[in-house]
Structure 1
Amino acid sequence: MREDIYTLPNALTLSRILACPVLGWSIVQGDFHLATALLVYAGLTDLADGFLARRYQKQTVLGTILDPAADKTLMTTLTVTLAMKGLLPTPVAVIILGRDVILSLSAFYIRYTSLPEPKTLSRYWDFTLPSAEIRPTRISKINTALQLALMGVTTINPVLPFQLGSSLTAFQWVVAGTTIWSGLSYLFTKDAVRLVSPGRQKKPQSM
């Protein structure tokens, strides 16, 4: 069974992913005004795609994959480039990236094991064939918000008329702690991954 993935919410989410290389380039080049503008765009489209998906019943299984993927692409871009500029401690960057790498590898494995037969390469990458949903845990949602807040504050700090100093450093290490906690939470939350039943796969086609 297939679902319609060509929706405005999915397009907005994809646009956030495509904006990440420009965001990374602006940080590396020291253009923090452009970086701040792109962060505002990312935040607005994140709010818009969620609202539109709920308001017009355009939720898709691909959307449940793309939305966190967009967040992680944004987070990875900011983490790497801010660490390169010396604005983010390297150990904090390693913790954030390490958690995401482990969760990404787990997602690839879950996709393979949950995909109905035949398990071909073309079917594996065909996201109109939903097989499983990954549901973020509560602490993971909190951690994502804290990470995005941290990256936003770290990015705009160079253009502020004052420096946050030790308070920003403390916030960075708090987020490092919640990142570790959120990663471990997936091991102990039984409904973090839900297989998509045939009935669930049919539902989007009636919209």
Structure 2
Amino acid sequence: MSLYAQENTTEQKKSQEWAAELKLANTAKEDKIKSLIFTHLIAVKEWHNSHPISTVPAGINPYTGNRLTDMDRSIIADSARPDSIHSNLMTGLRQELDKQQVAFILDKYTIGKVDFTLKGYKAIVPDLTAVEEQTIRKNLEEARERAIDYKSIKQVSAIFEIYKNKCEAYLNANGRNWRQLFKEYVTKVKAEKENQKK
């Protein structure tokens, strides 16, 4: 009996639901996708559980000089996993699915953070150009693929934060003032809320 057949876990339920939502109309292909996702989720969980933050020394971040947080140490521990955990999933998905279907599965892992975050950028920068949007989407899609190898949604958010910083640095380097744009957006949202109360 396979590992998949023996388990009745959150990972199994996720793999079943996500594969089913693709509506492939091909049982063999759907089973392959289920197996790929399940194997990956289990590998991520097992690596995470066997590499607690205590395996990473409580030093400093050499970039900022700040002490490593528990989240920093968790990300470091989990990022040391074998590359094969990631590549086995991605190679398998790309062999079986088209680009849009692969993106759908990655969105399931990351609870749709690409579109949600991009929507936020469009709200904060209303005159976002096509080139800016394309660059930001590319960064967020990289974040999404990297984030699938982390167990908790807090870790996923931390990975996206790395790429959001890249997006904001890109905007600043291309004539935008991110801090000012964000401040104006917050002021606008507050004013709208106040008007709704009246």
The TM-score range, normalised by the shorter chain, is 0.3 to 0.5
What TM-score does the superposition give when structure 1 sets the normalisation length?
Answer: 0.31
Q: TM-score, normalised by structure 2?
A: 0.32
Give the greater-gyration-radius structure (CA). 2
